[in-house]
Amino acid sequence: MKLTRRETMSFSAGAIALMIAGARTAPAMAGAGETDAAVMAFSGGAQPEAGVITLKAPEIAENGNTVPVSVSVDSPMTKDDYVESVAIFAEGNPNPEVVTFNFTPRSGEAAATTRMRLAKTQNVVAVAKTSTGKVYIDKREVKVTIGGCGG
């Protein structure tokens, strides 16, 4: 059997496509160590403490594609003492950094609500950074029954 140049090219392209499809792997997920590093980078090296920040997330998320989360920080929001930013991290997602909210004294309050995707059951972490240099943290475990990030 003699193959034409066109047939050889088709077989080669097919073989390459099969090799690429076979080599496909699941996306790498962040771990607690990567999340801790991201938290420390966000806080500028300051050690976060529990306290004035409150993270609300469901205990069980039926669908990881849309998990509602809200965060609020008890702060006077004055010119001298206000929340500069709040970041939300997800330990088991491919990228642990989910969102960062920025505030000013004119915001009136440091509160935000959003929806996020969670790939699997994991900890969701909220970190608040204040103008006085203090950093606060709150953490919740969310059990996901159907993954939202390719799971």
CA torsion 58-66-49-86 (nearest 10°) is -140
- 3-state class percentages of the chain: helix first, strand second, coil last, to nearest 5: 25, 35, 40
- Please state, in angstroms and rounded to a whole number, the distance separating the CA atoms of residues 26 and 117: 16
Give the pLDDT confidence score for residue 47 in this predicted structure.
93
* Domain 28-144 top-level CATH class: mainly beta
- Please state, in angstroms and rounded to a whole number, the distance separating the CA atoms of residues 135 and 137: 7
Give the pLDDT confidence score for residue 86 in this predicted structure.
98
Give the pLDDT confidence score for residue 11 in this predicted structure.
74
Length of the chain: 151
Q: What is the pLDDT tens value at each position of the chain, 151 positions in all?
A: 677 877 777 777 777 776 676 654 555 566 778 999 999 999 999 999 998 999 999 999 988 899 999 999 999 999 999 999 999 999 988 889 999 999 999 999 999 999 999 988 999 999 999 999 999 999 999 999 876 665 4
Strand partners, 108: none
